[in-house]
A and B are shown apart, each in its own frame.
Chain A
């Protein structure tokens, strides 16, 4: 491997949320929607 890999973790979590009709317009949840 070339370059610098120092500081790169083996895994990064992207987070998740349960989105419902009640919260879908809340920006904190809306950002999780799948956009093809």
Chain B
């Protein structure tokens, strides 16, 4: 998103985008101090991807109360106080992920999902759409969702445990890049690349490189750079 916003700001010429945020963790505890810092600098507007749909309501309200318009980008909060939200249709994305995964596994077998944390608007909607769509497939058994706290090692360990416990596990939906990295790592380590299918949201180019193990991957990503471009264009309209 930062790349897209910077590119659009450069094109517009009269907008300066200052990017700030924690690279360490995607959580309200790490994000809120950065938001408070941004409010203190009194910008003309704030674009934010809230790390939690409830916990970020008050911090965002503080910005608005200080006279700073706030747009949410990618994720959103459950109270409609932002003047606009720019995001993909994550419910539809979750449904598309289910359809793609069922097709990849041949229409029957166990499937599981790995997400970040409950409370994040985007991944919650992806999970909802995925679970809803799977109900259309009577020969597919959904083992449910596990949360990796945006930790690749934890996602890998969770996947290893799933593979050990469910011999009929044929597919996994990874709901973001980090969980997808963990799933890939565990599936390869178990020697099941190509046998256990992965659908990942927000997939990177790396996912599509030919693999000696013959791993098959699919993805239904949102467009984060696109979100940034749109947000920057909206901002100049204020």
User: Is B110 in the interface zone, CB < 8 Å from A?
Assistant: no
| B3 part of interface (Cβ distance < 8 Å) | yes
For residue A27, CB closer than 8 A to chain B, the reply is: no
Residues of A within 8 A of B86 (CB): 11-12, 14
Cβ 8 A contact of A16, one of B3, B96, B100: B96
B237 and A8 contacting across the interface, CB-CB below 8 Å: yes
Let me know if B69 and A2 touch, CB within 8 A.
yes
Check: B44 CB closer than 8 A to any chain A CB. Answer: yes
**Chain A hits for B100, CB < 8 A:** 18, 20
Q: Shortest beta-carbon distance, B212 to chain A, in Å? A: 15
Say if the beta carbon of B171 comes within 8 Å of chain A: no
A16-B126 Cα distance, complex, nearest whole Å: 13
Assuming the contacts A8-B234, A34-B224, asked whether A20 and B87 have C-beta atoms less than 8 A apart, the reply is: no
Cross-chain contact A19 with B223 (CB below 8 angstroms): no
CB within 8 Å for A16 and B92 given contacts A1-B83, A4-B237:
yes
Tell whether A12 pairs with B234 under 8 Å between CB atoms, given A5-B69, A19-B203, A21-B208.
yes
CB–CB A8/B83 < 8 A = yes
Q: A5-B69, A8-B234 are known contacts. Are A14 and B85 too (CB-CB below 8 A)?
A: no
List chain A residues, Cβ under 8 A from B88.
13-16
Sampled A-B contacts (10; CB under 8 Å):
A2-B238, A8-B83, A13-B87, A16-B89, A17-B220, A18-B96, A18-B218, A19-B221, A31-B223, A35-B3
A-side interface residues toward B, CB under 8 Å? Answer: 1-5, 7-21, 24, 31-36
New contact pairs (14) apart from A3-B44, A14-B87, A33-B203, CB-CB < 8 Å = A1-B64, A2-B44, A3-B237, A8-B234, A11-B87, A12-B84, A14-B86, A16-B89, A16-B223, A19-B203, A20-B100, A31-B223, A33-B204, A34-B224
